Structure 1
Amino acid sequence: MNSSEDIQHTENGWQDSVIIIPALLSASTLLVVAVIVWKFIQGRRVKGREVEEQTADDTNGWAVNTAGEFENSLTVPEPVLEKKQLPQEWRLHDRIVLCRGHYGPISQAMLVHQWDPEDRRGVILKELSENCSPGEIQDFMDLLKFHEQVCRHENLVRMLWCQTQRRPVCLIMEAMTFGNLLNFLRDLHEEALLSLTERDVYSLAMQVASGLEFLSGTHNLVHGYVAACNVLIHEDMSVRLCGLGLTAVQYRTGSIPIRRATRVPVKWQSPERLKEGSVTEKSDVWSFGILLYELVTLGAPPYLDVSPQELPNKLHKNYRMKRPQQCGERLYDVMTSCWHWEAPQRPCFTEVVKQLQNSAGEGDGVTPLSATDTLSWADYLHVAGIPT
């Protein structure tokens, strides 16, 4: 009996062991796994904080991209841009967003030398949004290469550096003290300390025409949106063309898509462009005539009494803007030569530059120009047909 009970007790103990030991092993295994996972998570958190702190230091606290697709698209080096990378000793500070561009925000900022804080340079940043598609990222890289390879003229906005290996990914351009020419012209409506004369208009116009001549003559490229809003002006009255997005597209692909070409406000487009969407040197010449009108009127909207919807039909009936009172006959002759209905009859930019040079001596260099409209900025945008 005792032997039987011992056997039974042994069997029960064995059965209990079969149950308890695996349970203990499972529990211990889970405990070990939990400890490993906890340590892994803690390690990732510490590493993440270190990366964030390092990136914040590198980018002055700007947003860090977390999209792998964006990161992967920037890992392929661009040999053309290597020598134009912003040197490590320069840091971007005081960034102020001005507007939203095609690829992301356009901002003004200050470049400050890390070892000499007194060495500061004002710059304009054209940034790449981290929400861009891979195609837009490649387009932006092509835009940077375009600026490096083409924009080597004193009247085209110049790339100082670019930044593609740290945040923010951007094109870094020189800033002009007076900024956008259209804003400058309209500020003159109330600015008593500054003034322009007709002779100043000739000087500004010749610089713009020279930049356009370089694009068309040297590179067989068009600008696509010649207007005061796409010109920058410095305190020494030097100007540079900006807004070269359409030019960069043409440089890369050989043409400008109609969908992009039609985004330009109607009042700056030539008749054939309004009808067919074609962008050529001669359509740029038409727009240059509009720019001359903007200059001599201190930024008045073209076709003040005509809506954008009515304009194509009126142009077809040979409607043209009248000579502003403060515009000399010779300057108006240059304008109207740009507005021939038939594109082949318009001068090329080489001829425009010559016309301006030959007429500049007759420009009034004494009488300050006055504003020809009293529109608020909101009313200006409405009359000009510029989307807000």
Structure 2
Amino acid sequence: MEVQARCSNSSSGPACYEEASDSVAVVVIPTVLVISSVVVVSLIFCSILRKRRISPLSFIGSSVQNTNKGQHCSSLGAVPLIPCGVREALHPWEMPAEWDVDGVELLCTGSYGPVCGGWLTREGRSAAVVVKALRDPASPSEEREFAEWILFHAKVCNNKSERLVRMLCCQAQRLPMYLVLEAHSPGNLLHFLWGLREKDSDKGPLHVSERSVFLLATQVAEGLDYLLTEHRVVHGYVAARNILIGPDLSARVSGLGTAFAEHQTDRTTRERPVEVPLKWLAPERITNQPAFHRSDVWSFGILLYELITSGSPPYPELEPQSVLPHLQSSYRMEQPEGCGAPLYNLMKYCWMWSFKDRPTFSAIIKLLGSTLDLAATEALPSQGLIDAAQYNKIAGIHPHLWQLSPDSPIKHESSAC
């Protein structure tokens, strides 16, 4: 009232205006400062959250919840206990904050933790991926081993070969740790072969011939040859279930869990990989002798049998434990229907008892190329539908290798589980 009276009685308009302005400023300026501070603090907080964001966090948490009876991740964002050298080597592969994984679905529980399918969005584009995460809680030794497992993929699956499944990114700087691999459609080669047995199937091209088998086998041999020549790595589990198939019958070798285990241990170890069914193993591996690169060649011959028979189990007339005695007696599988002499001769070449007598993968690639024109172009003979439970029994496959969700839109390599 004093200000108003003074202003009304004074003839000095500017002085009155200045006094009123000062009064308003006392109220407005602090308010603006408070609001600005709140905005700045909010932006900083959001920035911190964004930097700490773990893209697949929600699905990894739900996966752990599903597999560990309601237990939620208790160490999210914590720094894993891994060697500094490994951490630094994986830093270039760390998943950028602007990338995102959504549409995630639990496929199975692997040896390290949940294995999920989803869609990776980067630079405005989405692609199907498989995310393999470390379980929570995990011990320091498990964290170190998982980090080394990721680093193994970074060294081997680094986009230098189009015949191997590609690693896209990972998270190793904080928990949960995970590895992101590309996915393919139709996906798992064995499931694809089974789909060919269904009339009017939409799971793949219906016209798959012996020539198609030659082309697929060549791609797989190239991937296995790359593993050996570039990284001195023995795959250890060559089988249709460990091959991914994409558009136009393109093939990529996957399922490197056994290769990593072999790579980590002494090369003179005599323990055979227990997760690999006996019917896919070379005789020296069945008898716990050291693994040689031509042990993979024997298994490659079994893969040829799977291809030409649209996914039939090998040695269907034999129990798994009776395979070795028959092999020692020079028994070999008979020539399948629809299999020409050149392809069958290659199978028998791969199944030579002494690993020294088997061909190298470089020689196999040349043999497949030189006999390609002799391969039949007619569709493979029709086969009956496969019953998965019966297949597992005949093939000697442990059921845990087939814990894929039957409704999953992404069919992937099951051996990773």
Find the residue that maps to 1:83 and give its secondary structure: helix
Counterpart-to-counterpart distance in 2, 1:256 and 1:246: 15
Moved more, 159-168 or 133-142: 159-168
* Residue 247, structure 1, aligned to residue 259, structure 2: yes
AA partner of residue 191 (structure 2): N
1:145 Cα offset (Å)? 1.3
Find the counterpart in structure 2 of residue 213 from structure 1.
Answer: 225
Contact 1:110/1:122 (8 A) holds in 2: yes
Contact 2:80/2:140 (8 A) holds in 1: no
TM-score (norm 1): 0.79
Equivalent position to 2:170, from 149, 154, 162? 162
Counterpart-to-counterpart distance in 1, 2:120 and 2:236: 31
Find the residue that maps to 2:311 and give its secondary structure: coil
1:107 Cα offset (Å)? 1.4
Contact 1:59/1:92 (8 A) holds in 2: no
Find the residue that maps to 2:137 and give its secondary structure: coil
Change (3 A) 1:303 1:297: same
Counterpart-to-counterpart distance in 1, 2:362 and 2:292: 15
Find the counterpart in structure 1 of residue 27 from structure 2.
Answer: none
Find the counterpart in structure 2 of residue 90 from structure 1.
Answer: 99
Equivalent position to 1:304, from 306, 316, 324? 316
Contact 1:56/1:62 (8 A) holds in 2: no
AA partner of residue 139 (structure 1): E
Change (3 A) 1:89 1:67: closer
5+ residue gaps, structure 1, are: 1-49
Contact 1:157/1:174 (8 A) holds in 2: yes
* Residue 104, structure 1, aligned to residue 91, structure 2: no
* Residue 131, structure 1, aligned to residue 137, structure 2: yes
Change (3 A) 1:150 1:186: same
5+ residue gaps, structure 2, are: 1-47, 62-71, 400-417
Contact 1:62/1:167 (8 A) holds in 2: no
Change (3 A) 1:315 1:61: closer
Equivalent position to 1:145, from 135, 141, 151? 151
Q: Map residues 180-329 of structure 1 onto 2, 5 A cutoff.
A: 180-192=188-200, 193=202, 194-195=205-206, 196-255=208-267, 258-259=270-271, 261-329=273-341
Find the counterpart in structure 2 of residue 348 from structure 1.
Answer: 360
Counterpart-to-counterpart distance in 1, 2:192 and 2:253: 15
Find the counterpart in structure 2 of residue 41 from structure 1.
Answer: none
1:65 Cα offset (Å)? 3.0
Counterpart-to-counterpart distance in 1, 2:148 and 2:284: 29
Change (3 A) 1:387 1:84: same
Contact 1:142/1:252 (8 A) holds in 2: no
Change (3 A) 1:315 1:81: same
Find the counterpart in structure 2 of residue 384 from structure 1.
Answer: 395
Counterpart-to-counterpart distance in 2, 1:303 and 1:104: 33
Change (3 A) 1:87 1:298: same
1:191 Cα offset (Å)? 4.8
Contact 1:261/1:277 (8 A) holds in 2: no
1:110 Cα offset (Å)? 0.8
Find the counterpart in structure 1 of residue 58 from structure 2.
Answer: 60
Contact 1:103/1:132 (8 A) holds in 2: no
Counterpart-to-counterpart distance in 1, 2:106 and 2:163: 25
Contact 2:337/2:381 (8 A) holds in 1: no
Give the % identical residues: 38
| Matched pairs, number | 334
Contact 2:78/2:174 (8 A) holds in 1: no
Counterpart-to-counterpart distance in 1, 2:329 and 2:260: 34
Moved more, 323-332 or 68-77: 68-77
Contact 1:246/1:256 (8 A) holds in 2: no
Runs of 4+ in 1 over 4 A off after TM superposition: 54-58, 67-72, 74-77, 256-260
Contact 2:105/2:117 (8 A) holds in 1: yes
Find the residue that maps to 1:309 and give its secondary structure: helix
AA partner of residue 344 (structure 1): K
Counterpart-to-counterpart distance in 1, 2:138 and 2:347: 40
Counterpart-to-counterpart distance in 1, 2:133 and 2:293: 29
TM-score (norm 2): 0.74
Q: CA RMSD in A?
A: 2.6
Counterpart-to-counterpart distance in 2, 1:101 and 1:285: 27
Counterpart-to-counterpart distance in 2, 1:90 and 1:252: 32
Cα deviation digits, residues 199-253 of structure 1 (max 9, x gap): 1100100000011111122222200000001000002211111111222234444
Find the counterpart in structure 1 of residue 351 from structure 2.
Answer: 339
Find the counterpart in structure 2 of residue 79 from structure 1.
Answer: 88
Contact 2:82/2:147 (8 A) holds in 1: no
Change (3 A) 1:57 1:227: closer
Contact 1:94/1:109 (8 A) holds in 2: yes
Cα deviation digits, residues 120-153 of structure 1 (max 9, x gap): 1111112111233322221211121112222231
Moved more, 201-210 or 158-167: 158-167
Find the residue that maps to 1:364 and give its secondary structure: coil
Contact 1:123/1:175 (8 A) holds in 2: yes
* CA radius of gyration, larger in: 1
Contact 2:82/2:144 (8 A) holds in 1: no
AA partner of residue 184 (structure 2): M
Find the residue that maps to 1:73 and give its secondary structure: coil
Moved more, 85-94 or 273-282: 273-282
Counterpart-to-counterpart distance in 2, 1:61 and 1:348: 43
